[in-house]
Amino acid sequence: MKKVISFLRSMKFGMILLVLVIACSFAGSMIVQQRTAMEYVSRYGEDAAQLILALGLDDVFSAPYFLVLMAALCLNLILCSLVRLPRVLGAKAALLTSAKKAKATTALEDRQHAILCRYFEKRLYRADKHEGRTVFFKNGVGFFGSFVTHLSFLLILVVGAAAVVTADVRDQVVMPGETLTLESGVSIRVDSFQIVDETGMLDYASELTVSNADGSKNASKQIRVNEPLSFEGHKIYQQTYGTAGAVRITNHQTGVSEDMILTESCFLTLDGINGMFYQALYPGYIQDADGSVTLITSTSGAYTDPVYDIVSVAGGAMTPVLAFPDETLTVGDVSFTLLSPVSYPGLRIKHMNPVVLGLLYATFVLMVAGLYLCFFTVPLAIAVEKDGYVILSPKVQTGLMIELGALLKEE
């Protein structure tokens, strides 16, 4: 059992876990997450898509193996911290005890002894006199560097998980040109959306303008998958997309026209009896040699040859119709002109709990402090007596030895 615990708290095991977590995180940042199988086939090819789906790389951060890795890393950090704490608490006393007993390794003349003592006093070393020798001590807090660093990593994982769990996540469809106002007063306007770029490559991107409640602060950015916009504690992601039909309804008696976006099946009518029943919009079609038409039912890109599946309802008669953009269906005094489809984004809006977010930032500050203690606050104990001195430290102090040698040589 001791060997198992020893391995679980070992640096080797921790480094293995950290490398695996980084590898999974890298895969999650490079591969778009939570998409349909069809989109992965379109983006990466059939073989790669099958591998992505089989390994759960389409939703890495919720995959069981990723959660197990994170739990194991937390366990490793907890064990490391618990094991180190007693040693850290007694490290300063142990170093002072060793300094009081250590044999001098560098000889001193009488005048050099006084010079060395003045040198350490000017640099605010603490002095502890013991049986004719003086132990100068500094940077005792450096012993806590490794402990604080391990503790900060653990807190980052725990608080980071809490931030994810407590985050307010909202998925919202917003049509280009429309504005969404959140409960916080922040407004999000979708200025434009594209599925493909100028070269015809898939490029799901939304041009957004966001403003705070009083309009005193705003920001604009084109967001893409894994390239969100951050604004006043909100993160706005390009999550999904869709394509909707569009129709212009004209009442010839009044001369009034109105454009409507068709996101689902509906019956468009003025009198409740006659009108147009919108069933579906298809991204394209294939026409066979005999003239028959086969509708394409799915695509991961833009609708290149859109086809409207509608039904004309007039005088109790229902007539199925396949129509294309710019065609007009007239029923009585009302005409329905089918327009080019409208592509729209599905946005994911995350709002972090400010308290948890503040704690998360604090854990990063703690990590920086721990790393600073590890590398720049190295504990030192120098035992000085009339005949010589010795330097004790957890790390080799070549620089200090050279500096002291040059100081004593000059004098």
- H or E stretch at 402: helix 398-410
User: What's the angle, vertex CA 61, arms to CA 40 and CA 151, rounded to 5?
Assistant: 155
Q: Chain-centre distance of CA 15, in angstroms?
A: 21
Q: Residue 324 has what pLDDT? A: 93
Based on the domain organization, do 274 and 313 belong to the same domain? yes
Based on the domain organization, do 306 and 333 belong to the same domain? yes
- Establish if 374 belongs to a structural domain: no
- Establish if 97 belongs to a structural domain: no
Based on the domain organization, do 236 and 260 belong to the same domain? no
- Establish if 175 belongs to a structural domain: yes
End residue of a domain, out of 356, 385, 403: 356
Domain that holds residue 259: 244-339
Cα–Cα distances in angstroms (integers) from residue 86 to residues 82, 89, 262, in the given order: 8, 5, 68
- Establish if 139 belongs to a structural domain: no
The answer to whether residues 217 and 211 touch, using CB atoms and an 8 Å cutoff, is yes
Q: Residue 411 has what pLDDT? A: 54
Tokens of 67: 């959660």
Q: Residue 293 has what pLDDT? A: 77
Tally of structural domains, the chain: 2
Based on the domain organization, do 213 and 281 belong to the same domain? no
- Establish if 19 belongs to a structural domain: no
- Establish if 14 belongs to a structural domain: no
DSSP 3-state percent helix, strand, coil across the chain (nearest 5)? 40, 35, 25
The answer to whether residues 227 and 233 touch, using CB atoms and an 8 Å cutoff, is no
Q: Residue 245 has what pLDDT? A: 94
Which positions ≥6 away from 166 have C-beta within 8 Å? Answer: 352, 353, 356
- Establish if 192 belongs to a structural domain: yes
Based on the domain organization, do 258 and 194 belong to the same domain? no
Based on the domain organization, do 271 and 298 belong to the same domain? yes
Based on the domain organization, do 236 and 352 belong to the same domain? yes
Based on the domain organization, do 202 and 278 belong to the same domain? no
Number of helices (H), then strands (E), in the chain:
9, 21
DSSP letters for 122-161: HTT-EEEEETTEEEEEE-GGGGGHHHHHHHHHHHHHHHHH
End residue of a domain, out of 339, 368, 395: 339
Based on the domain organization, do 329 and 268 belong to the same domain? yes
Based on the domain organization, do 198 and 312 belong to the same domain? no
> Phi/psi of residue 94, each to 5°?
-65, -40
- Establish if 287 belongs to a structural domain: yes
Which positions ≥6 away from 95 have C-beta within 8 Å? Answer: 137, 379, 381, 392, 393, 394
pLDDT along the chain (411 residues), means of 10: 74 84 83 74 79 84 84 83 80 88 87 88 89 89 89 88 84 92 92 86 90 90 89 89 93 92 92 93 85 78 89 91 93 94 92 88 94 92 90 89 84 54
Based on the domain organization, do 352 and 213 belong to the same domain? yes
Q: Residue 323 has what pLDDT? A: 93
Residue among 144, 173, 121, 215 nearest 379 (CA): 144
Residue among 298, 296, 361, 289 nearest 322 (CA): 296
Based on the domain organization, do 270 and 194 belong to the same domain? no
